[in-house]
Amino acid sequence: MHLTVIGCYGPYPPAGGACSGYLLEKDEFKILIDCGSGVLSRLQNFVSLWELDALVLSHLHGDHTSDLTVLRYALDAASSRGLRTEPLPLYAPPEPKEKFERLRYKDTLRIIPLKAGRPLQIGPFKFDFLSTVHSMLCLAMRIESEHSTLVYTGDSEYFPLMAEFAHGADLFLCEANLPEEPEDRRRAPNHTSASQAGLLAASADVGRLILTHLPPGEDLAKLQEEARKHFSRVEIAREGKCYPVKK
């Protein structure tokens, strides 16, 4: 399987960039993971929107879901033109309830609630989910297919159970939304720093670490350097780049 980074910033995109969105493919099966601001336009450089087989959301914050609003219009138009005959399966956490209920639009989506600890088979991929430490219900994903494993953190504070969940993954896609700062200037929780991402990768003994959910305006080379203090095989997510999950 391989992963294309469509967008990798949060909580808003820089000029010309996009928030969280990742295209996962194997044997012509296509899953979009998260659908933040700017993702829909960029996604069409890689796949026609009506060709998507599934959409999986880590959580319902706007920087992971905002382009879903217009994706629904595109799916409706594709149905009208005969390009799509079935609703797109959308897997999402069921909380907050009011946000979950607003996901529906005509017959464009078939919405399936996710639950931590309840595995799912989606096409050729086996998904497992872990509740993270965030301001709303967010689910990290462990995705396996044959002999390769991808783990995506979604959004979360640092917590050691994430390393256990990611143990042995070939590719660890971990948020790095915070630079290291003096304790008296420490930002609010809910996110992982680049240094903490490196610690998690080392503890989990993963193959490679890719830093994502990057903060606009920060020195990304510095974030990579902070992660490398703990784990050497690390790079910054690049929009438009395709990564084999297992090299």
CATH value at residue 162: 3.60.15.10
Task: Give mean pLDDT in consecutive 10-residue pieces for the chain, a chain of 247 residues.
Answer: 98 96 97 98 97 98 97 97 96 97 95 97 98 97 96 96 98 92 58 95 98 95 96 98 95
Determine the Cα–Cα distance for residues 145 and 1; give it in Å rounded to an integer: 7
Q: What's the domain range around 191?
A: 2-244
Give pLDDT, residue 186.
54
Amino acid at 138: C
Give pLDDT, residue 183.
52
Tell which residue, 74, 66, 68, has the closest CA to residue 48. Answer: 74
> Which string of DSSP letters, residue by residue, matches 178-218?
B----GGGPPPSSS-BHHHHHHHHHHHT-SEEEEESBPTTS
Provide the β-strand partners of residue 92: 113
Residue 20, phi then psi, degrees to nearest 5: -60, 130
Give pLDDT, residue 178.
86
Decide: 141 and 128 in contact? Cβ < 8 Å: yes
Domains of the chain: total: 1
